[in-house]
Copies of this chain bind each other. A is one copy, B any other.
Amino acid sequence: MSKLDNPVPAASGVTSRRMADAIRFLALDAIERAADGHPGAPLGGAEVATALFTRHLKCNPADPHWPDRDRFVLSNGHGSMLIYALLHLSGYAGMPIEQIRAFRELGSHTHGHPERDVDLGIEVTTGPLGQGIANAVGMAVAEAWLSATFGSEIVDHRTYALVGDGCLMEGVAHEVISLAGHLRLGKLCFLWDDNHMTDDGVTDFSISEDVRGRFRVAGWQVIDADGHDVEAVSAALLLANQDPRPTLIACRTLIGKGLPRLEDKRGAHGGRVFAEDLTEARAAAGWTAGPFEVPADVAQAWREGVDGRNHPAYVAWKARVAALPADKRALFERAQRGDLPEGVIEALAAQARAMAEAAPSQSTNQSTAEIVDLIAGLIPELLPGAPDLEGPTNCKRGLAAFTAADNSGRYIHYGIREHAMGSMMNGMVAHGGVLPLGATYLVFSDYMRPPLRMSALMELPVITIYSHDSIGIGKNGPTHQPVEYLASLRAMPNMAVFRPADAVETAECWEVALSRKHGPSSMICSRQALPTVRRDAGENKSARGAYVLVEGEGGARRVTLLATGSEVSVALAARALLQAEGVSTAVVSMPCWEVFEDQPEAYQAEVLGSGVVRIAVEAAVKLGWERWIGLEGGFVGMRGFGASGPGDQLFEHFGITAEAVAGAARARL
């Protein structure tokens, strides 16, 4: 048990009930003023949050980025006024009372659901249920690895998530409950707002399983506590710290506690709060402070409970870091900043050159596996994982596993839990200090689409590798053949979708992806071997998103063939047919649309060609390609789902051939 875990009593004369009521009335005043919001969770969770924040949570409101702070996740993000009230009472400078007043107004930081902003004390964006607790499990993995790697004097903090019934019904929750128990993430604690109520009414409508038992079978410690008793919750939090297992504290609460009209009622979840409700609630609580007013003694007690309690530990931690050997300290601080080690970009450039020279015929999946191998040797905080596809994605080589017994291992066995992986990677990147890499088949990206969206929304640089990217996988058939995924990933704002054509472009795309700081990347790879189409690697051409791979010959360009990934070589073969007929034809490789869209218009026009026939070829649906080919251009690709058969036969079967591409061009000349 760490010395930080000792609960401190509330400051002189201020009862824990008043400290919790301060949350309640900030929440109620804000929700009433906004005429919108969810009162149920902040009212029901006020004591639980008070116990955690004023007695246990390690944080420093004056330094919200303190790497060794405990992480707090409000997984039931609709209860956002709970975290805003907590941050205000804790003294975060970014959360003054004006922000509380501006709850849900356009331009405020007090959004309908909490949005990641570490300056404010908000670790992750939450709202879509289940995401927050899965983020928390990722954070706990990051902490465990960092602690094992840098030592507990530098990294030794807990991860807490406040979770509602909704979070615990979602499938992703069960994936991470199972995995967290398996990995014995002992510094992880879920505080369950067990109020027996959801938006639809009593939980009995839809669940009768023994939730406590469900955690126990997964290897968790389970503690019951009266969720309206700060002492009881605090005592449970102490027990949580003393057990090597992750802990669920089942906090029995009343939804909307303190709001007489709605307390313990379905309507408390998201119902309107009116002025009369405030009058009634104030009378019931004996709360005499006005709207948005926190009595001075209560405010003081909160500051003492949060800042006063934690300050010595913060100072001591700073001293320990300062005393680290210079190289260890530099390594820790670099990883915390999320910077790459020196030499990574250079190594990737060298890899591109080597591949241009060697010109292998291999899958881009294999090229990516080699790069993961390469950078794993250069980036000590790189933590790859491929949910039950370690063999096909080949990205574990030489790395020990992160296990319950050895937290310094770097390969994460996620099990067959893609959704968990996606959400956990968000938590790991949000935590900082580690660089997770997830790998799965492209079709399974749908299983993790909710966290992909959250990574894009949070602007987290999460990189996921997707292999088996088209009908090229062959006999496994249409269930495993992506056709709509390039389009659906391209539809997501702030997601960079890379589909390299060969080993050279793969190295180039990795360089771009690893350099992205404010958004996720999808690295799309083939299962089948692809010829090397790039023989020059002096300049990272993929860094412009699209480029002329081969210009037309024999006069002004008449045709531009646009392609990505495995279809670049189809386009090259089509070009040969057209050039043989005297048609000057350029091939443009487009490994990343999003990057190309950011290029100057003049460059785009130069690459695409003006007044030429444009034909696109991609073994996927057309949606979006009109952006590049217009209404007059041609598209050779998929019109529906794939089929089961050898990959080369499928390209013929679906008409994705050089002849078809050349034919589409001829028809427009």
Contacts and interface: CB of A to CB of B under 8 A. Distances in A.
Interface of A: 34, 36-37, 77-78, 104-108, 111-113, 115, 125-129, 165-166, 169-175, 178-179, 181-182, 198-200, 205-210, 213-214, 216-219, 388-392, 401, 413-420, 443-444, 446-447, 449-450, 453-454, 456-457, 474-480, 483-484, 487-488, 490-494, 621-624, 626-627, 630-631, 638-641, 643-646, 649-650, 653
A567 to B, nearest CB: 18
By Cβ-Cβ distance, the 10 closest A-B pairs, closest first, are A171-B171, A106-B645, A206-B415, A174-B174, A127-B479, A626-B626, A111-B644, A213-B217, A487-B491, A112-B477
A647 to B, nearest CB: 10
A105 B424 CA distance: 39
A171 B169 contact: no
A391 B266 CA distance: 10
B127 A199 contact: no
Contacts of A491: 484, 487-488, 491, 621, 623-624
26 contacts: A77-B479, A104-B644, A106-B653, A108-B644, A112-B475, A115-B479, A126-B479, A128-B443, A128-B480, A169-B175, A170-B416, A171-B174, A171-B419, A198-B388, A206-B388, A209-B217, A209-B219, A446-B449, A446-B453, A457-B478, A457-B641, A488-B492, A490-B623, A493-B641, A623-B623, A626-B631
Contacts of A443: 128, 453
Given A171-B171, A208-B219, A457 B479 contact: yes
A181 B209 contact: yes
Nearest to A175: B171
A264 B515 CA distance: 44
Contact of A174 (B126, B127, B175): B175
A210 B206 contact: no
Contacts of A653: 106
B200 A182 contact: no
Contacts of A456: 641
Contacts of A207: 178-179, 182, 415
A166 B388 contact: yes
Copies in the complex: 2
A478 B643 CA distance: 38
Contacts of A494: 640-641
B645 A205 contact: no
Contacts of A128: 443-444, 447, 479-480
Contacts of A113: 476-477, 479-480, 644
Nearest to A212: B217
A254 to B, nearest CB: 19
A417 B171 contact: yes
A175 B181 contact: no
Contacts of A219: 208-209
A645 B104 CA distance: 6
- Among the interface residues A106, A127, A209, which one has the most CB atoms of the partner chain B within 10 A? A209
A181 B209 CA distance: 7
A174 to B, nearest CB: 3
Nearest to A134: B171
A491 to B, nearest CB: 4
A475 B214 contact: no
B493 A199 contact: no
B198 A416 contact: yes
Contacts of A450: 446-447
A169 B112 CA distance: 33
Contacts of A484: 453, 488, 491-493
Nearest to A630: B631
A24 to B, nearest CB: 21
A31 to B, nearest CB: 11
A150 to B, nearest CB: 26
Given A165-B416, A207-B415, A213-B213, 10 more contacts: A112-B480, A128-B480, A171-B417, A174-B174, A209-B217, A209-B219, A447-B450, A493-B641, A626-B626, A627-B631
A36 B419 CA distance: 28
Contacts of A454: 479
Contact of A170 (B199, B200, B417): B417
Contacts of A198: 388, 415-416
Nearest to A625: B626
Contacts of A453: 443, 446, 484
B169 A415 contact: yes
A300 to B, nearest CB: 31
Q: Which of A170, A181, A205, A443 neighbours the largest number of chain B CB atoms within 10 Å of its CB? A: A170
A404 to B, nearest CB: 8
A207 to B, nearest CB: 6
A111 to B, nearest CB: 4
Nearest to A452: B446
B476 A170 contact: no
Contact of A115 (B478, B487, B631, B639): B478
A623 B206 contact: no
Contacts of A389: 199-200
A483 B495 CA distance: 13
A208 B182 CA distance: 5
Contacts of A644: 104, 106, 108, 111-113, 115
A388 to B, nearest CB: 5
Most buried by B among A444, A454, A639, A644: A644
Contact of A199 (B388, B447, B457, B492): B388
Contacts of A217: 209-210, 213-214, 217
